[in-house]
Structure 1
Amino acid sequence: MAIRKVCVAPGCDDMALPGLAHCDEHEAARQDKLAARRKAAKGSEVAQAGIALYRTKRWREAAKAHLRRHPLCRDCEELGALVEAREVDHIVPHRGDPAKFWDRGNWQGLCKSCHSRKTAGEVLHRAAKG
């Protein structure tokens, strides 16, 4: 039997959803806040500059070439797992700066899962700050 906990929202004494830290009401509010942060992050000037760079034919070709030369996810490889890299990540976020974007020394191959986790942390952390 799973142990149920009280919702962590201040002043709430409802039970949290199984496996989560919040009750129904506060989990919905948390998800809404997260969606708003994602939308704000994607709509920023910096994000739009990056999106334009990723849409170029030059990027698509360069990314494919990089993955052919570096076929394994760097993060998974460090953990001893051999997982195919599917995406090219900028080790240091470029924030729309073309010089950083095209610096091949700043590229690494990551699997979808590792890239999504890394990018979400960068984008959402930055959106929360500013």
Structure 2
Amino acid sequence: MPRKICVAFGCEELAEAGLSHCQTHEAIRQEKIAARKAAAQQSEEAQANRRLYRSAAWQRAAKGFLAKHPLCAHCAELGLVVPAREVDHVEPHRGDRAKFWDRSNWQPLCKPCHSRKTAGEVFHRTPRG
């Protein structure tokens, strides 16, 4: 794979193979990502959501939903048969308990699909059904 110049402004080093930044700027980029993730986990919204998702009521409801909807909805759109492991809120509830418990707002997703969707919502505020 051909290597290119680092995309960081003013840097003339070669980017790491398969990446857009040199070793120094890639490390800086990864530190920023880690800091953003840590900050997101410390927010009041994240802490309140953790309490909701850890509740016995949610654990029972999610288990029952997955028993009735065992395949990942996003993978199914691509013609793939992948077991769902998590219940996702199609439209983020953002702490709204009515939306949290609205089963018509739930969808079954595999771990990679759910992680990808949630990251987009948390870091870019881009909802995806």
For 1:27, give the aligned amino acid.
E
Q: Hey, what does 1:124 align to over in structure 2?
A: 123
1:3-33 deviation line (CA, Å, top 9, x unaligned)? 0100000100000000000001100110011
Moved more, 40-49 or 59-68: 40-49
SS of the residue aligned with 2:76? Answer: helix
Alignment: residue pair count? 125
For residue 64 of structure 1, give the secondary structure of its aligned residue in structure 2.
helix
Deviation, structure 1 residue 70: 0.4
How many Å separate the matches in 2 of 1:95 and 1:27? 32
Q: Which structure has more RCO (C-alpha within 8 Å, separation ≥ 6)?
A: 1
Structure 1 position 42, deviation (Å): 1.1
Tell me, in whole angstroms, the C-alpha distance in 2 between the residues paired with 1:125 and 1:98.
Answer: 22
Contact kept, 8 Å, 1:100 with 1:106, in 2: the verdict is: yes
Contact 1:47–1:95 under 8 Å retained in 2: no
Q: Which residue is 1:86 aligned to?
A: 85
Q: Extract unaligned runs of 5+ from structure 1.
A: none
Aligned counterpart, 1:110? 109
Within-5 A mapping of 1:1-130 = 2-126=1-125
What amino acid does structure 2 have at the position aligned with 1:106?
A: N
Q: Secondary structure at the match of 2:12?
A: coil
Q: What is the Cα-based RMSD across aligned positions, in Å?
A: 0.8
After TM superposition, what 4+ stretches of structure 1 lie above 3 angstroms from structure 2?
none
Identity over aligned pairs, percent: 64
Deviation at 1:103, TM superposition (A): 0.8
Q: TM-score, normalised by structure 2?
A: 0.94
Q: Which amino acid aligns with 1:114?
A: C
User: Which letter does structure 1 place at the counterpart of 2:14?
Assistant: M
TM-score of the aligned structures, taking structure 1 as reference length: 0.93
Q: Which amino acid aligns with 1:25?
A: T
